[in-house]
């Protein structure tokens, strides 16, 4: 029997006697009932404005959606810069995957870079080096490891800031690299040739990104086939395919045509192999 069904004094008396037989204090029950009703009254009287968002503020759901939604306009990677020195290469990721690009100095480690940037497709970052330094820039594989079979953007700056810059696929090609001084000189290429290569000269990392076997020293059939394929597709005038390409070619078709460049600021792209 609910309290709302009690309609007479006799009913109330019988209800009270029933509670006493059950060992329940009627006054305690009434106090509990009053407390519940008081709480309900406070909820009804609360001002709706107190819980409403302030004017001009987004609702919590809208805030979450706005934070999670990607920007419609690519954000320039102005903070994606590493390395120090008077010389720099601004690198754009023109591939379809994230790229981690490291800078290595001659005589140092070839697996642990001295500077490193990570770029999403379409982003641009910068690696810098000092006068008197030489080395190369290369892209890591999908696991973040730098392999000796990677494409190289090679650089050297003498003490006066005169630069030598070239692109090398001698050890292998995991990226199409092109570099320019902004004054009409360029080296490398932007072609995706790995998809056309025979399967026996192409390997893939854990992310499915391809590497074409490089000539290196031509000591294996795969190296010879890889060097031949890249020479057929790219020639040897814009990048090193073999170690002696600069000795075999005329000056007009020499991959070192950017040597002794007075520019200290280059632009480059790293694309799909």
Helix (H, G, I), strand (E, B) or coil at 155: strand
Task: Encode pLDDT of 117-172 as tens digits.
Answer: 999 999 999 999 999 999 999 999 999 999 999 999 999 999 999 999 999 999 99
Q: Higher pLDDT residue, 262 or 28?
A: 262
C-alpha 227/C-alpha 209 separation (Å) is 19
How far is it between the farthest Cα atoms of the chain?
A: 120
DSSP string, 57-83: PPPHHHHHHHHHSPPSSPPP-TT-EEE
C-alpha 51/C-alpha 62 separation (Å) is 16
Nearest CA to 167 among 183, 179, 185? Answer: 179
Task: Encode pLDDT of 198-231 as tens digits.
Answer: 999 999 999 999 999 999 999 999 999 999 999 9
Locate 252 and state its tokens. Answer: 């007009």
Task: Encode pLDDT of 65-122 as tens digits.
Answer: 233 333 333 444 446 999 999 999 999 999 999 999 999 999 999 999 999 999 999 9
pLDDT (0 to 100) of residue 256: 81
């Amino acid at each position: 029997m609910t309290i709302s069904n009690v309609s007479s004094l006799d009913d109330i008396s019988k209800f009270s006697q029933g509670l006493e037989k059950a060992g329940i204090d009627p006054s305690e029950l009434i106090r509990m009932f009053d407390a519940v009703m008081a709480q309900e009254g406070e909820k009804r009287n609360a001002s709706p404005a107190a819980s409403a968002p302030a004017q001009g503020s987004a609702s919590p759901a809208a805030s979450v959606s706005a934070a999670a939604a990607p920007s419609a306009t690519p954000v320039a990677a102005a903070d994606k810069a590493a390395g120090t020195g008077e010389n720099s290469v601004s690198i754009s990721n023109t591939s379809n995957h994230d790229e981690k690009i490291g800078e290595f100095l001659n005589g140092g480690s070839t697996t642990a870079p001295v500077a490193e940037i990570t770029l999403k497709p379409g982003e641009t970052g910068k690696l810098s080096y000092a006068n008197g330094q030489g080395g190369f820039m290369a892209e890591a594989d999908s696991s973040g490891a730098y392999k000796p079979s990677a494409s190289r953007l090679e650089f050297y700056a003498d003490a006066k800031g005169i630069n030598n810059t070239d692109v090398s696929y001698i050890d292998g090609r995991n990226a199409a690299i092109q570099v320019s001084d902004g004054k009409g000189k360029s080296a490398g290429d932007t072609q995706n040739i790995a998809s056309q290569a025979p399967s026996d000269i192409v390997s893939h990392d854990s992310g499915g990104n391809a590497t074409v076997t490089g000539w290196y020293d031509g000591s294996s059939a795969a190296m010879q086939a890889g060097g031949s394929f890249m020479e057929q597709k790219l020639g040897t005038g814009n990048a090193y395919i073999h170690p002696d390409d600069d000795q075999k070619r005329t000056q007009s078709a020499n991959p070192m045509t950017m040597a002794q460049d007075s520019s200290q600021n280059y632009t480059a792209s790293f694309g799909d192999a």
